[in-house]
């Protein structure tokens, strides 16, 4: 082959290569424009916001959506091609929403983190200059300057608990160690936040004051805290994670003596309750004739009843089984007919809606994957969901 023929061959190959690249670019551009049109059409029907997998044109129902800085402030149809192109080159997700004040749709290429990777999502959001990340499964916006981000940054969660409510929250006097169902729930929440957990004491009489104290003494309270409208008026309460209701403990020999509230509401019956909580309120509201004794240490009341210093303890269906199982002198004759019906939840101060959303997300996932049932059964509790 002559030098001239070699030059012609090289030129031909180059032309073919350029033609191929041009076709590939045209194909890629056409793909981007086609997807962009679909995203734009989808956005018109979802002005409140969406996260879309542009590979399948479906909305994921789980995950933590975080926007990339590279496509920040992309709005209107004209900028959507850039967003789609970036998404195709990265994670395949596009988020969007309508700014009604401006009348503009904003779009972002989005990264989706698993919901158990909240710390990683927050760090990615901060690195990309975002204001928040979004949990898809329960529509929770987590501000990057809020309570959750602060806990994640310091890797420390402080939890208030009474430590007197077996098997939900109990502090061993000798070691100072906390154990119980509520303690393990707090540890699950801390794990989701990527934080270590520190428990600190609160009490039933001071619970509200401790939750709302300034400066803040702990991030939330957990244990046998019943969800009530009164508490929700001044504080935040999570979704319920344990069914509950009022019942009694009495001596086993008196199990047939107390078959109703009327049997208890007699002057000769001594009813012992701990101060400041709903047990005391229930006793005063429901028992007008019985002798009510307020005793400061809730965890000691069952033994006081067993030893004859009181006849009845007003307690909960969550607490009573533990004492019946561990002290043969005691009985809970009305445990299957509780006087009230309710749920136990996590209590925190107002202004921590981001933390509330994360906790509800943990509860929701534990119900869905069966781990909540297992944890309750481990602690001798009855699953009600």
Contact 38, 57 (CB under 8 A): yes
Q: What is residue 20's predicted lDDT score, i.e. its pLDDT?
A: 45
State the Cα–Cα distance between residues 309 and 16, nearest whole angstrom.
Answer: 99
Q: What is residue 6's predicted lDDT score, i.e. its pLDDT?
A: 54
pTM of the model: 0.82
State the Cα–Cα distance between residues 162 and 169, nearest whole angstrom.
Answer: 7
| Full 3-state SS string of the chain | CCHHHHHHHHHHHHHHHHHHHHHHHHHHHHHHHHHHHHHHHHHHCCCCCEEEECCCCECCCCCEEEECHHHCCEECHHHHHHHHHHHHHCCCEEEEEEECCCCEEEEEEEEEECCCCHHHHHHHHHHCCCCEEEECCCCEEEECCCHHHHHHHHCEEEEEECCEECCCEEECCCCCCEECHHHHHHHHHHHHHCCEEEEEECCCCCHHHHHCCCCCCCCEECCCCECCHHHHHHCEECCCCEEECEEEEEEHHHCCCCCCHHHHCCCCCEEEECCCCHHHHHHHHHCCCCEEEECCCHHHHHHHHHCCCCCEEEEECCCHHHHHHHCCCEECCCCCCCCCCEEECCEECCCCHHHHHHHHHHHHHHHHHCHHHHHHHHCCCCCCC
Q: What is residue 3's predicted lDDT score, i.e. its pLDDT?
A: 60
Per DSSP, what are the bridge partners of residue 178? 171
Strands 246-251 vs 330-331: parallel, antiparallel or unpaired:
antiparallel
Q: What is residue 382's predicted lDDT score, i.e. its pLDDT?
A: 82
Give the chain's length. Answer: 385
Q: What is the mean pLDDT of each run of 10 residues along the chain (385 residues)?
A: 56 48 67 95 94 97 97 90 96 95 94 96 97 94 96 97 95 96 98 97 96 97 96 97 96 97 97 94 96 95 97 95 95 95 97 96 95 94 83
State the Cα–Cα distance between residues 31 and 152, nearest whole angstrom.
Answer: 40
Q: What is residue 206's predicted lDDT score, i.e. its pLDDT?
A: 96
Q: What is residue 178's predicted lDDT score, i.e. its pLDDT?
A: 98
| Full 3-state SS string of 101-154 | CCCEEEEEEEEEECCCCHHHHHHHHHHCCCCEEEECCCCEEEECCCHHHHHHHH
Tokens matching residue 62: 């789980």
């Amino acid at each position: 082959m002559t030098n001239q023929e070699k030059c012609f061959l090289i030129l031909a190959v180059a032309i073919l290569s350029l033609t191929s690249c041009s076709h590939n670019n045209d194909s890629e551009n056409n793909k981007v424009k086609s997807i962009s049109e679909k995203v734009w059409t989808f956005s018109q029907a979802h002005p409140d916001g969406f996260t879309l997998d542009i590979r399948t044109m479906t909305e994921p129902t789980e995950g933590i959506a975080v926007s990339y800085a590279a496509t920040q402030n992309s709005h209107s149809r004209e900028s959507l091609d850039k967003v789609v192109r970036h998404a195709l080159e990265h994670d395949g997700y596009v988020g969007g929403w309508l700014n009604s004040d401006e009348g503009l749709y904003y779009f972002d290429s989005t990264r989706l983190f698993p919901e158990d990777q909240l710390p990683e999502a927050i760090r990615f959001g901060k690195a990309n200059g975002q204001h928040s990340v979004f949990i898809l499964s329960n529509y929770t916006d987590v501000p990057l300057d809020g309570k959750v981000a602060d806990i994640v940054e310091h890797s420390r969660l402080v939890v208030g608990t009474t430590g007197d409510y077996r098997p939900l929250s109990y502090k061993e006097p000798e070691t100072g160690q906390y154990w119980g169902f509520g303690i393990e729930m707090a540890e699950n929440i801390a794990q989701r936040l990527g934080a270590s957990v520190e428990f600190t004491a609160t009490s039933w009489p001071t619970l509200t004051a401790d939750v709302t104290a300034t400066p803040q003494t702990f991030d939330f309270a957990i244990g046998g805290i019943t969800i009530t409208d009164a508490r929700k008026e001044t504080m935040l309460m999570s979704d319920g994670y344990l069914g509950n209701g009022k019942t009694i403990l009495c001596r086993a020999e008196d199990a047939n003596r107390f078959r109703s509230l009327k049997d208890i509401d007699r002057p000769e019956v001594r009813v012992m309750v701990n101060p400041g909580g709903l047990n005391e309120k229930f006793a005063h509201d429901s028992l007008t004739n019985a002798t009510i004794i307020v005793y400061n240490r809730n965890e000691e009341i069952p033994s006081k009843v067993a030893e004859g210093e009181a006849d009845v303890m007003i307690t909960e269906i969550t607490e009573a089984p533990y004492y019946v199982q561990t002290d043969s002198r005691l009985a809970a004759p009305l445990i299957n007919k509780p006087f009230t019906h309710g749920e136990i939840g996590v209590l925190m101060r107002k202004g921590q809606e981001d933390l509330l959303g994360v906790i509800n997300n943990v509860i929701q996932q534990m119900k869905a994957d069966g781990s909540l049932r297992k944890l309750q059964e481990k602690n001798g509790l009855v699953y009600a969901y």
